[in-house]
Amino acid sequence: MRFVGEPAFVLHARAWRETSLLVEVLSAEHGRIGLVARGVQGPKKHVLRAALQPLQSIRFDGVQRGELAQLTSAEAVDAAPLLHGDASLGAFYLNELCMRLAPRQAPQPDLHAAYAQVRERLRVGEPLAWILRRFERDLLEALGSGFEYVTDGDGTAIDPAARYRLEAEHGPRRVLGERVGERRESATGRALLALGDDAMPNAEDLASLRLPLRAMILHELGGRGLKSWEMLGELGRLATPKA
């Protein structure tokens, strides 16, 4: 298979041998693609190396040979967002999600569009916790594991005053008990309704979405967690939106 002018976002790049890179990208038409970029470490290849940095939007040419494609050319479409601190850690988390969950060689137009959106949200500095929760929602939807945010798994309307767990095979399930653990691992009905409406909830409700959505993602990951969850200290620092 040949790729000609294929639009994609760079998810990850690492050194391979002495002068090459192994690059993972997310495309709309072909999902996640692994690329071998040979001979990019020389002094005259800095433009190409810059185009292969994470978050970069590119167009590339290549030839698929086995599991990996041989990159023949790539150019940056625009400048990647310049991120620092928590925002850069958040971007690492988003890229790791795509690396682990986006299938190879399978069309992913919805995920590709969601990545384009989250990239711009990072660029303009929207509240990071809200950026992450929306992308998690959109990722689950793109993978076919999303659900309605106005009704629970039994078809009953979400109660704004109630709390809900999120279950992969059921969707929102109302929490009837008041144990501390149940409350901590459940989202408020207000938060679910706001997420469905794409309207940022207040800080407390927004924070309540983190662990329930993580449970959904962990199910998609087959129970094997992410390195970024450890790096971000359970993402606790990102649970509250910043002014």
Domain boundary assignment for the chain: 2-76, 86-238
**Token pair 């094997």 in the structure block, residue:** 224
Q: Could you please report the per-residue DSSP string of 23-47?
A: EEEEETTTEEEEEEETT--SGGGHH
List the beta strands (DSSP E) in 20-162.
Answer: 20-27, 31-37, 57-65, 68-76
Q: How high is the pLDDT of residue 164?
A: 96
Cα(186)–Cα(184) distance, integer angstroms: 6
pLDDT at 206 > cutoff 80: yes
Q: Could you say which DSSP state residue 82 is in?
A: -
Q: How confident is the model at residue 220 (pLDDT cuts 50, 70, 90)?
A: very high
Q: Cβ–Cβ contacts within 10 Å for residue 204, how many? A: 12
pLDDT over threshold 50, residue 241? no
Residue 205's pLDDT band (cuts 50, 70, 90):
very high
Residue 110 has pLDDT above 50, yes or no: yes
3-class SS at 15?
Answer: strand
**What is the CATH superfamily name and number for domain 86-238?**
Recombination protein O, C-terminal domain (1.20.1440.120)
**Statement: the pTM of the whole predicted model exceeds 0.85:** yes
How would residue 97 be classed by pLDDT, with cut points 50, 70 and 90?
Answer: very high
The pLDDT assigned to 179 comes to 64
**Mean predicted confidence (pLDDT) in 195-204:** 97
- Is the pLDDT at 236 greater than 80, yes or no? no
152: how many CB neighbours lie within 10 A of its CB? 24
Q: Does pLDDT of 238 surpass 50?
A: no
What mean pLDDT do residues 140-169 have?
A: 94
Give all strands of the β-sheet with 187-188 in edge-to-edge order: 171-174, 163-167, 187-188
Indicate the fold that domain 2-76 takes in CATH.
OB fold (Dihydrolipoamide Acetyltransferase, E2P) (2.40.50)
Cβ–Cβ < 8 Å for 12, 99: yes
Question: Which H, E and C letters describe 214-235, residue by residue?
Answer: HHHHHHHCCCCCCHHHHHCCCC
Task: Specify the pLDDT at position 42.
Answer: 66
pLDDT in tens, 21-67: 999 999 999 999 999 998 877 666 777 888 999 999 999 999 998 88
Quick check: 239 pLDDT over 50?
Answer: no
Mean pLDDT to the nearest integer, 84-105: 94
pLDDT at 50: 85
- pLDDT tens digits for range 157-186: 999 999 999 999 999 999 987 665 667 889
The mean per-residue pLDDT over the stretch 94-105 comes to 95
- Percent pLDDT > 70 in the chain is 92
| Range from 114-123, 204-213, 227-236 carrying the lowest mean pLDDT | 227-236
Report the pLDDT value the prediction gives residue 44, as an integer from 0 to 100: 60
Comparing 48-52, 186-190, 233-237, the range with the smallest average pLDDT is: 233-237
Per-chain mean pLDDT for the chain: 90
